Amino acid sequence: MGQPVNVGVVGCGAISAQYFQTIDRLPELRLVAVADLDLDRAREAVRPYAGVDVLSVAELLADSRIDIVLNLTIPAAHAEIALQAIAAGKDVYCEKPLAATAEQAAGMLRAADAAQVRVGCAPDTVLGTGTQTARKAIDDGLIGRPIAATATMMTPGHERWHPNPDFYYVSGGGPLLDMGPYYVTSLVTLLGPVASVVGAASRTRAKRTIGSGPRQGEEIPVTVDTHVTGVLVHTSGVLSTLVMSFDGAATKAPNIEVHGETGSLVVPDPNYFDGSVLVSGVGEGDWRTLPVGAGYVEGGRGVGLADFAATPAGEEPRTSGSLAFHVLDVMESLLASAHSGAAVTITSTCERPSPVNLTQPID
């Protein structure tokens, strides 16, 4: 193995700990420096890891050791940080969604093309054994020709547990832009890109109350739709029905089901790397659990960054910016359709990301 790829992280909030753990256990990545608007938070976040510098954003971007900037800021800041990193000649890997708007995301991809640097994006959970085993089952013809899928995410809202949930209720947030990237990326991984959408949406409350942390009890404004439904018409003709909600108490619906001509699949939660894939053929009645057949075993947030870093120049990374852009375009178009009442044609597209063979973790 060659030299590790040096990573600099901007944004050391709630999700950063999971990345730091993964980077720490992957020899192909090295955490060199972190930055945050709140330097104390950055210092605290990397306390368990020796030799990581805590820098200002400008210092981190100017640091010649850093190959990839891992952008873990809030969605409203994704584009601004990514554009600065691109201008500094760095590859960028962003948390999802790629940006708060497709227009911002398009600007990022244009700038990256011009600077000849690469953009990657979460979610990488879909590279885990759950989604990848389901994808292999579809590709192997286990359910015949895919016809339809359903995707359901129902929660009462992240303000119940996140200490700073404001970003979930402004542009770039809401159940669709926050959780939709997992579901739509999984659907594109399983069934290919989307050609058109039709949507409907509602907003139940003007304010939400923070449920934990120092701001517990504080009310925050809601400026986005909090229950979003719709149909994605894939280029292949498959119809995926989506329900993404911060307004439901609970659900027993599977996260994702895919129905084919000869069988149906239950696909595990795309917010996680693993989980059981179930199959039932026409007339079988019962569900069988498929053996784990593909994907990164024991994945953690950051394996997509390693996959991105290891992708040879000239090849499309599985966690590519163009996939993330298509996913964002689909979600934004679904909201546009919900507001106009008309179907929206999706003008972007992407390659279906290449499958991940069953890959055991390195000891």
Token pair recorded at residue 174: 């809401």
* Residue whose pair of structure tokens reads 């944004």 in the numeric block: 11
Choose the stretch contacting ligand NAD; rule: CB under 6 A; options: 6-14, 184-192, 214-222, 304-312: 6-14
Nearer to ligand NAD, 127 or 265 (CB): 127
Question: Is 14 among the residues that bind ligand NAD (CB under 6 A)?
Answer: yes
Binders in 169-198 for ligand NAD, by CB under 6 A: 178
Pick from 26, 52, 66, 81 the residue near ligand NAD by CB under 6 A.
81
Residue carrying structure tokens 């060199």: 32
Task: Select the span of 31-39, 222-230, 249-257, 321-329 touching ligand NAD (CB under 6 A).
Answer: 31-39
* Residues 106-165 within binding reach of ligand NAD (CB under 6 A): 164
Q: Which of 7, 8, 9, 13 binds ligand NAD (CB under 6 A)?
A: 13
Residue 165 phi/psi, 5° resolution?
-85, 10
By CB under 6 A, the residues from 38 to 77 that bind ligand NAD are: 38, 41, 57, 72-75, 77
Our finding on whether 90 is near ligand NAD (CB under 6 A) is no
Please say whether the beta carbons of 329 and 103 come within 8 A. Answer: no
Structural tokens at position 329: 């375009």
CA–CA separation, 149 and 258 (whole Å): 4
Q: Which residue is nearest to ligand NAD (CB)?
A: 13
- CB-nearer residue toward ligand NAD: 37 or 282: 37
CB of 3 to ligand NAD, least distance (A): 27
36 binds ligand NAD (CB under 6 A): yes
With a CB cutoff of 8 Å and minimum separation 6, the contacts of 23 are 7, 29, 30, 31, 302, 305
For position 297 contacting ligand NAD by CB under 6 A, the verdict is no
Q: Checking DSSP bridges between strand 239-245 and strand 256-260, what pairing results, if any? A: unpaired
Q: Round to whole Å and give the CA distance between 334 and 346.
A: 10
Tokens linked to 180: 């939709």
How many other C-beta atoms lie within 10 A of the C-beta of residue 315?
10
| Residues that bind ligand NAD in the complex, under the rule CB under 6 A | 10-16, 35-38, 41, 57, 72-75, 77, 81, 95-96, 164, 178
